[in-house]
Amino acid sequence: MKIKLINTLFFLIGVAFVTAQDNCSTFYPMNEGVSMEYTNYNKKGKIEGVSNYKVIEANHSGDTTTATMSINLKDNKGKDVYSTSYNLTCKDNMVTLDYESLLPTEMMEQYGDMDIEISGNDIEIPNSLSVGQNLKDANVAMKISMSGINMNMTVDMTNRKVEKKESVTTSAGTYDCFVLYSENRSKMMMVDQVYPSRVWLAEGVGMVKQETYKKNGEVMSSTLLTAHSK
């Protein structure tokens, strides 16, 4: 249960940077109908699954835009792993991601007999990025209680910064990207692990590539944009 929960949250943190362009947001999709397909690979470069994203609702009110993104993940055999949705808000040249809505419905149903408390700070992405720029830390914390037993888990994204610009080519095309680095620390019970990560973002397109590493720098998992529709 611990491993599944940690893997689910880290996967969502990585793919939470799915992006596209509209009048408010440079990087996050805020237009209904925008869809993206991502292929997920393990450390050996073998396909682990495919995730599909789609903006299913968008609302514009004054200087604020909100959107709801649906996610469907299938394994390498095409079997549904989970489906969920999360919320985005764009205001004052900043996009924020609602962390609480990142938790998959199926996972929450699995722990339906437990009391769950969720808290944290949203991920923030400015509409304007530049090399060398530092970004605000983010985190999510969960407290799960059942029959008098408590299980606490936290995931912290720290040392977030824009490292460089780099061109990336996938089956969906070639893109000029900003490379965002972060250190993701998970704590559950007595287990404390750190996974550095990089995300490649292209204006008007979104997340093109994502890699998570071991402490020694070896790639542990990766994700590539394989289809995109506006």
Q: Quick check: 88 and 67 in contact, CB under 8 A?
A: yes
**Pairing of β 64-75 and β 47-61:** antiparallel
Structure tokens that stand for 72 in this block: 């469907």
User: What are residue 11's phi and psi, to 5 degrees?
Assistant: -60, -45
**pLDDT-derived band at 8, boundaries 50, 70, 90:** low
Name which of 8-22, 33-47, 94-108, 184-198 the model is least confident about. Answer: 8-22
- Topology annotation, domain 2-229: YmcC-like fold (2.40.360)
What is the predicted pLDDT for the residue at 11? 54
pLDDT for residue 74 is more than 70: yes
Return the amino acid letter for 116: I
pLDDT for residue 202 is more than 50: yes
pLDDT for residue 28 is more than 80: no
Q: Which residue has the higher pLDDT, 50 or 7?
A: 50
From residue 55, alpha-carbon distances to 40, 63, 70 in Å are 20, 19, 6
**pLDDT-derived band at 64, boundaries 50, 70, 90:** confident
Share of the chain above pLDDT 90, in %: 28
Return the amino acid letter for 125: I
Report the alpha-carbon distance of residue 68 to residue 55 in Å, rounded: 6
Tell me the pLDDT of the chain averaged across its residues: 81
Q: Which of 103, 81, 28, 83 is nearest to 58 (CA)?
A: 28
**pLDDT-derived band at 109, boundaries 50, 70, 90:** low
Mean pLDDT of 49-69: 87
Share of the chain above pLDDT 70, in %: 82
pLDDT for residue 218 is more than 50: yes
- Per domain, the residue ranges of the chain are 2-229
Overall pTM > 0.85:
no
**CA dihedral sign of residues 30, 34, 35, 36:** negative
Q: Which of 48, 101, 100, 24 is nearest to 70 (CA)?
A: 101
